[in-house]
Structure formats: C-alpha cells, structure tokens
Amino acid sequence: MTDARTHRRLTEPRLVIASHNHGKVVEIRALMAPFGIDVVSAGDLGLPEPNETGLTFIDNAVLKARASAEASGLPALADDSGMTVAALDGAPGIYSARWAGPSKDFGAAMELVRTRMGDNPDRSAAFVCALAIAWPDGHVETFEGVIGGHLEF
C-alpha cells in the first residue's frame, strides 16, 4: 500500500481496533498501553463488520481498517490471518475462520484439514497474519508476517 517514503507515524491518542473480538482487543490494548494510546474496538463503537471480500489476507485487513477509520473518524488497525496448507493448494487460507464454522471451532477446522489432506505426505503449512492501519483521510499502511511449519496429526 505504501513505500518507505510515505510511512506515517501514529500521533493520535486514540486507535480503533477494527474487531468485535473482545479477547483480541484486550490483547492489543495491553500492547498499546505503554505508548499512551487509548484503544477502542469497532464493536464498542457499534460499527458494523464489513464483508471480507478480499482475495488476500492484506485485502481483508485493509477492508476492515478502512471501514472502521471512515466510520469512526479515527485511525483504525485491523488484522486478517489464517493457515495455508501446501497439500491443499493454500487452503484454508483467507477462509480459515469459515472452516471453523459459526461456533469458531478451530479443532473442527483442523480435523477438516486432516481429512482433506488424506495420505498426502506433504505436511508443510504456514500461518499468515496481515495488519493494516488506515487513517480517515484514506492513507493505509500494511504489514504481513508468515511463519512456516509442519503439520502433525
């Protein structure tokens, strides 16, 4: 979204976490507290959750951050994350939460991964986490981390 010449420093004392996940907000609030940043969630502000229609983790994080920044008039931080499995051509990928179902049963999601992998010997996988921070003026910055690993069932 941006390059090194356009990075922006967060100077506002308040940051919206574009999430309705209370646990996630509590964790981010604790991380931001030493910097004197007041964290409020999109859920606490009554902001709707946008549809995650992006094709990548970055796309979905940007969608959520922009929606919260525009609706609140404050900078907003959003994430999108999930697991990619080589033997499943990168699935579940951006659909990881959907594989866990409405009850967010990630044990069931992992069972589905195991079942779909069958006897494929390739057990390589990665966890991807994308972050986006958006300002109400439309400026967005993104970050993505990937950690590779090996599935054992």
Which are the catalytic amino acids? 80
Of the CA atoms within 13 Å of residue 82, those in its CB half-sphere come to 24
128 and 82 Cβ atoms separated by less than 8 Å = yes
For the beta sheet containing 38-41, the strands, ordered from the edge strand earlier in sequence to the opposite edge, are 38-41, 14-17, 76-85, 124-134, 140-150
Q: Count each helix (H run) and each strand (E run) in the chain, helices first.
A: 4, 5
